[in-house]
Amino acid sequence: MTPVLIVLIIFGSIASLFIMPRYFKSVERQKMAETLRIAIEKGQPLPAEVIEAMSSNVRNPGLPPSPQRDLRTGIIWLGIGIGFAALGLVISFEEPDALFPLLGVATFPTFIGLAFVVLGVLNKKS
């Protein structure tokens, strides 16, 4: 039971790193929208700063990814892959059979990271 719990905690922690920021951002946007709805219902004028602040964080999905964003994403994926490899190395001190499976898992984010880094280098604008 303990090994299953440990695996669930590890992967739950990884998932929460991606899910929680999005959840909190969503809650913040819902509160802002509710506040704006009440202000509009009461006839309050909306300052330009509020409208600009709400639209400044919105990504335009029609724009191609920038080389800088590709490099950042690639470095993050490389870090995740190196982290899995380091985890396998550390666990292998107690359980030698754990090294190769975790190195296998580490190859996926590492190659994704390498692909993003290559894309970032190849797409640099001169």
Residues 23 and 72 in one domain: no
Q: How many domains does the chain have?
A: 2
**Across 24-40, average pLDDT:** 87
Residue 108 tokens, joined: 């996926």
Q: Residue 126 pLDDT > 50, yes or no?
A: no
pLDDT number for residue 3:
84
Residues 75 and 27 in one domain: no
Q: How far is CA 28 from the centre of its chain?
A: 18
Angle at 87 between CA 86 and CA 92, to 5 degrees: 100
Residues 67 and 13 in one domain: no
Residues 52 and 74 in one domain: no
| Residue ranges making up the domain that contains 90 | 62-126
Residues 51 and 67 in one domain: no
Distance CA 10, CA 40 (A): 45
pLDDT by residue (tens digit) across 53-96? 766 666 555 556 688 888 999 999 999 999 999 999 999 999 98
